[in-house]
Chain A
Amino acid sequence: MMKLDFLKQKKIIIYLLIIITVLAIDILFIIKPQILTIKKISPEINKLSADLKAFEEDKKNLNQLKASFEILNKKSIGLDKRIIQEDELLTLVEKISKIGREEDVKIIQISPIEDPKAKKISGYSKGDIYPVMINIYIHSGYHQLGRFINKLENLDQFLKVLFIDIKFDKQLYTTQVVHLTLGAFIVK
């Protein structure tokens, strides 16, 4: 009787071992690799699907995208001129002198100053932008000065009056002594 029970128990243990082995093989070599593959490709599928959806959307709006590029491109050509190249600074100074002559403004002294402490402005694709100053000493009439500054403010290149000091001369009523500091931007 004891022997019979022992044999039965042995049989059950063998069955259990077979079941566990089959389960282990199944989990390790079939289910696990499938789950891992699903886990791996699911984000790729999501990304590809999203990319394709975006592509379809972009393709639909391609003409619109091209049009907005053209508009931006034209706008940026105009805006790019506001920031001058480093080697164009002297040309700008020359231009200011020419405008001075045209507006009957006597420029006594004009000099660009590059501030060594000036902080560069990043985030522009063509290089770093640096602020520069142009110091001008002038003898001119009030209205001539107004017209001169108006022309400077309306140049393609950006010029900003940072400082202006007008001394109204007691002797020469129509001529003022002016110290003008302009600000501009150069790209390096």
Chain B
Amino acid sequence: MIDINLLPEKLKKKNINAEFNKDFYYNVIIALVIILAFIHLLIGSTFIFKKIKFRNLKSIVPKIEQDLKEISDLKNRVKLLQADTSKILDITKDRMEVAFALNRLSMDLSNGIWFRHLKLDETEFELEGSVVSLKEDEMSLLNKFLTSLKNEKNIKVSDKLELADAKKRNFQGIDIIDFILRVKIK
């Protein structure tokens, strides 16, 4: 087909789109190549850097393997000993100093007071006793004894000790007070 355009050159319609497209495609391709090159540079350099670092680190390991093993063994043994020690301390920490408590009880005992029954388990302490006074001040003697026991800082829960019961009875014309002291431990 023959295309005849008789219009003057000035007025002829130029193929601007084709030129524009050509330039546009070139620019896009160049931009793509630059972006690709940049990505390659970034990833490639990271890759090489990481590879070298990894190889270097790996090469150090065999040199220190012996020391590493020794330190690791020592650390494991320390950890094991720590665990064992804390386990034993944990299960053996909770202990009532019974000998000390018995000693304190006898030391705080005034003339005129005697014990009849003493019972202690993990939940309760109970002391049954009697008090007699020729001056007829049994209750004050008992209070003094109770107060001195309550003030004993080294006996666990002694401050919570309470007079649970006190009954007066007469024995051959002498008044005797039978008492029970009690404290809940748990």
Contacts and interface: CB of A to CB of B under 8 A. Distances in A.
Interface of A: 1, 12, 19, 23, 26, 30-31, 34-35, 37-38, 41-42, 44-45, 48-49, 52, 55, 58-59, 62, 65-66, 68-69, 72-73, 75-76, 79-80, 82-83, 121, 123-126, 129, 142-143, 145-147, 149-150, 152-153, 158, 160-168, 185
Contacts, number: 148
Nearest to A151: B99
A41 B52 CA distance: 11
- Judged by DSSP, the binding face of B is helix
A129 B89 CA distance: 13
A37 B75 contact: no
A30 B39 CA distance: 11
What 7 pairs across the A-B complex have the smallest Cβ distances? A150-B99, A161-B98, A149-B99, A48-B57, A166-B118, A72-B81, A146-B102
A59 B67 contact: yes
Nearest to B122: A162
B144 interface: no
Nearest to A8: B18
Nearest to B71: A58
Contacts of B46: 34, 38
A120 B120 CA distance: 25
Interface string B24-49: 01000100100010011001101100
Give chain B's interface residue range (CB within 8 Å of chain A): 35 or more
A45 B120 contact: no
B83 A123 contact: yes
A159 B69 CA distance: 40
B7 interface: no
Contact of B68 (A35, A55, A82, A160): A55
Interface string B78-104: 101111110111011011111110110
